[in-house]
Structure 1
């Protein structure tokens, strides 16, 4: 788990703890508290979705870099093989 993931996890845990404490000690009516809690959960869900989308984009970018690197390496290997074949087929 990288540092960004740890920070995000700590942030989400803090939000959840804050929401739970807010509900327990809230001087408001139950309906108002539930509405606020639902809004907080929706915001948390949106944050998670946004972060997941960012990580998916990062993974897709990493995949593209790896594929390009492999293709480049294979192209170099094919060139080297062709050069060796040409060298072997030439009369000495």
Structure 2
């Protein structure tokens, strides 16, 4: 039992000495440490919020840019289709005129 008692006293003395040294060499009081932790948490929260706002603004700008680009591309496509439609109509009108001419020749015979 003597060894167990000495071991227990050694552990107890080591714990007490460690706690005392921890308190003596601690950089700040508990309240100051808690204040620093709270300030750091607030700074981190503000940093995350700022990053979130920045990301949101960049995403909105990208969406607006892509929307404008898409609108321009759509306008170009519609314009191209309109020109091609005019070409098709002109070609069909020429073919119709040719067919009318052929039909008139067939009717005279």
User: Counterparts in 2 of 1:15-30, with a 5 A limit?
Assistant: 26-30=26-30
- TM-score norm. by structure 2 comes to 0.58
The count of aligned residue pairs is 68
Paired with 1:38 and 1:26, the residues of 2 have a C-alpha distance of: 18
> Cα distance, 1:26 vs. partner?
4.4
> Cα distance, 1:84 vs. partner?
0.6
> Cα distance, 1:42 vs. partner?
0.1
Instruction: Give CA deviations for 1:28-82 in whole Å, capped at 9, x if unaligned.
Output: 1111100111011101110110111011101110111111111110100000000
Paired with 2:69 and 2:26, the residues of 1 have a C-alpha distance of: 56
User: Counterparts in 2 of 1:11-90, with a 5 A limit?
Assistant: 26-90=26-90
Structure 1 consecutive aligned stretches of length 4 or more whose deviation exceeds 6 Å: none
Unmatched 5+ stretches in structure 2: 1-24, 95-109
More helix by share: 2
